[in-house]
Amino acid sequence: MNTKLQSIPDAMGRFGLFGGRYVPETLIEALNELTTEYEKACKDEAFQQEFHRYLNEYVGRPSRLYFAERLTKEAGGAKILLKREDLNHTGAHKINNSIGQALLAKRMGKKRIIAETGAGQHGVATATACALFNFPCRVYMGEEDIRRQKLNVFKMQAMGAEVCPVTTGSRTLRDAVNEAMRDWMSTVGDTHYIIGSAVGPHPFPWIVRDFQSVIGKESREQCIAQTGKLPKVVVASVGGGSNAAGMFFPFIHDKDVEIVGVEAGGRGPKPGGNAATLSHGAPGILHGAFSYVLQDADGQTADVHSVSAGLDYPGVGPEHSYWKDSGRVKYTQVNDEEALAGFDLCSKLEGVLPALETAHAVVEAMRIASKLSKDDVVLVCFSGRGDKDCYEIARVTGESLE
């Protein structure tokens, strides 16, 4: 295993082979400006303090690290600790990044914010940050996702954001990213694009990972304080990979901590049946970065599926590709059925409804915990709450909430 892992991207914006910038010339200047400004913000004490003040007073951080006693008992092995990102304002980890990038946009003097969203969590988080910092906000969302996530559409609009339906391609997250990039091509002078995951052209994967790293930093301290040691294994679900990148990064150099990313196994390994990019994909280019991607032999992006709208994405952040190839992080899969069972189990045993993304991580954590001793600790990123998924879960289990 490679022990000297890169912590920040190189001059070409790459983590090892992965990352870079595969975007039209029109966007290059904006990406250069963003890189320069972000480098300054990293070293600017006042910026960091302001960011953490909002995380503390507005988002409600630090989020709790909770010992899930009944899940632990059910798994019958290691202690399972849940990092409760679902308790953040807006109910998921996404707000960490939206607040950070909105502050960055303010610093750069931008006048307008755009974002893409799949299930709507990142859209809601960005609409929230835009209300807070008084930015006009447009959120691109696939027509199909708008239908599935009416409540989030209502929330975004209530906070003053304009939700723009995307009618091209598969009408889901991937097409929403395309439309947001197209908007940005025409408005790049006064607009900042708050991308929602650790994906896209450099410096986005790095910025998003850093703003989300608060998850891992807090978890590491809390775990030591509560259990007297580091966890044996850290687990998080991976779609684009922002909650996972934020959770994993502060543990990357802890040699004895195993790290496991959980992808969406969907209906199974057949092409189109899952969204497990690192498990079934190959290195290629999507949305401006070189990373693992699910494509056909011609380089056309493949259709993907997951019961979880947040994991239903054919790409993955370049740093995850780097961690995979270096052997530092192991990537596994949990399928639709298992994730739905995990939702059920976690709700009934702990009284906490996990988002379907999160349910993937919970299922894997229980599998891992069952093989370890009761002195070990398995730390799970509990990335979001399940309210948004209730309609979809009811639909696939043959019930109705209408």
- Residues forming the site for another protein (CB under 8 A): 12, 20-26, 28-30, 168-169, 174, 178, 181-182, 185-186, 188-189, 282, 284-288, 290, 295-301
Catalytic residue among 83, 85, 98, 116: 116
Residue 290: partners with Cβ closer than 8 Å, 6 or more residues away? 14, 17, 18, 19, 20, 22, 283, 284, 318
* Stretch (H or E) spanning 163: strand 162-166
SS3 59: helix
Query: Closest CB to another protein among 121 and 191?
Result: 191
Catalytic residue among 110, 291, 383, 392: 383
Contacts for 208-211 with beta carbons within 8 Å, 24 or more apart? 208/97, 208/101, 208/242, 208/245, 208/317, 209/242, 209/245, 209/246, 209/249, 209/317, 209/319, 210/42, 210/100, 211/51, 211/96, 211/97, 211/99, 211/100, 211/101, 211/246
Kindly state the smallest distance separating residue 35's Cβ from another protein, in Å.
Answer: 13
Kindly state the smallest distance separating residue 39's Cβ from another protein, in Å.
Answer: 18
DSSP secondary structure code for residue 90 in this structure: T
Query: Closest CB to another protein among 203 and 261?
Result: 203
Query: Closest CB to another protein among 25 and 256?
Result: 25
Kindly state the smallest distance separating residue 148's Cβ from another protein, in Å.
Answer: 21
Kindly state the smallest distance separating residue 302's Cβ from another protein, in Å.
Answer: 9
Active site residue 69: no
Interatomic CA distance for residues 400 and 42, integer angstroms:
48
Query: Closest CB to another protein among 132 and 302?
Result: 302
Query: Closest CB to another protein among 21 and 122?
Result: 21
Query: Closest CB to another protein among 297 and 401?
Result: 297
Active site residue 197: no
Active site residue 364: no
Contact 194, 30 (CB under 8 A): no
Contact 371, 350 (CB under 8 A): no
CA distances 289 to 13, 245, 318, Å, are: 9, 16, 7
Contact 21, 288 (CB under 8 A): yes
Kindly state the smallest distance separating residue 10's Cβ from another protein, in Å.
Answer: 12
Interatomic CA distance for residues 374 and 383, integer angstroms:
24
Catalytic residue among 83, 94, 110, 155: 94
Kindly state the smallest distance separating residue 131's Cβ from another protein, in Å.
Answer: 28
* Stretch (H or E) spanning 142: strand 137-142
Interatomic CA distance for residues 336 and 311, integer angstroms:
11
Query: Closest CB to another protein among 165 and 284?
Result: 284
Kindly state the smallest distance separating residue 177's Cβ from another protein, in Å.
Answer: 8
Interatomic CA distance for residues 310 and 121, integer angstroms:
8
What are the catalytic residues? 94, 116, 383
